[in-house]
Structure 1
Amino acid sequence: MYKKRSGQTYYTNRHSCFLLQYHIVLVTKYRRPVLTGPVKDLVYQVIQDIFDEKKLVILEMNGEADHIHILFEADPFTAPGTLVNIIKTKTSRYARKEYGETLLKEYYWKPLFWSDSYFVTTVSENSLQMVQEYIKNQ
């Protein structure tokens, strides 16, 4: 990610100044409670790896057994819908590869993991702290 100058809340580069904060919610298929124990740990780690690879900043990540909230900062070149697709594809692939025949078999008889839908919204500076607290308390 780009750097913030001291005292600035916005990121800058040679041609732009920006602060893009998003809140994404992903729900498991049929709202099955699969995001627990080692499956949850694996999914959260894969998501963190994706964000590290793309140099994006996760401000908060938490959820319950059937959904996950991700609050993050992005650059202007990151399309939230494309990022969601990458997250769903990679986490599903890794989770099914690792736990498809054991922990996930109880909930899914087909190669499924995430619901087709998702929620995404922008977060303003005024509501950032409130959204962070909400996610922490999931």
Structure 2
Amino acid sequence: MPNTCTQIHIQAVFAVQNRQSLIRDSWKAELYKYITGIFKNNNPKVLQINGVAAHIHVLFGMRPTQSLSELMKQVKHDSSKWINNKSFLNGRFSWQSRYRAFSYSKSEGPRIINYIKNQVEHHKKVEFKEAYLMLLKDFDMEFNERYILKSVL
């Protein structure tokens, strides 16, 4: 639509299947660049990406004509395929089918960028599940603990 102006900032959080700590420091920067490229090819602008061995956070600007679910499906599919083709792991890599997404105003951007940049330090103090539940509660999102990102087997 001509003369349409939007500003949609989304933080997506997605985890490795069974929350296994499979993302290695030796290749995570390459993975983040690859994921950033997937977003860029679909027009969203990545504002920050980071994570730990078991999950990733991405803050990005989104177009109003895009489908968040289709975008995340493509990001997870393409990055899984890339990791497997690179043979970074002995076994098969996959992301959990679920993800969570949270919207923010532009004024909240610096705080969220800082939060994502500091994931490693953050998770030294706060367990993943605890941090995840805090996010859900902060956003007043309904959830059933049975379905909170599958536990490590």
- TM-score computed with the length of structure 1 as normaliser: 0.78
Q: Which runs of 5+ in 2 are unaligned?
A: 120-153
Aligned to 1:130: 111
Aligned to 1:4: none
What is the DSSP-based 3-state SS (H/G/I as helix, E as strand, rest coil) of the residue aligned with 1:63? strand
1:73 equivalent among 58, 61, 67: 61
Number of equivalenced pairs: 119
Query: What is the letter of the counterpart of residue 86 of structure 2?
Result: E
Instruction: Pick the structure with more strand per residue.
Output: 1
Contact 1:62–1:69 under 8 Å retained in 2: yes
1:104 equivalent among 83, 89, 92: 89
Displacement, 1:15? 3.3
Q: Which runs of 5+ in 1 are unaligned?
A: 1-12
How far apart are the structure 2 equivalents of 1:45 and 1:132? 17
- TM-score computed with the length of structure 2 as normaliser: 0.71
The structure number with the bigger radius of gyration is 1
What do residues 50-85 of structure 1 show as CA deviations (whole Å, max 9, x unaligned)?
122122211111101110000000111121111110
Displacement, 1:46? 1.9
Contact 2:16–2:22 under 8 Å retained in 1: yes
Displacement, 1:134? 0.5
Kindly, what percent of the aligned residue pairs are identical? 25
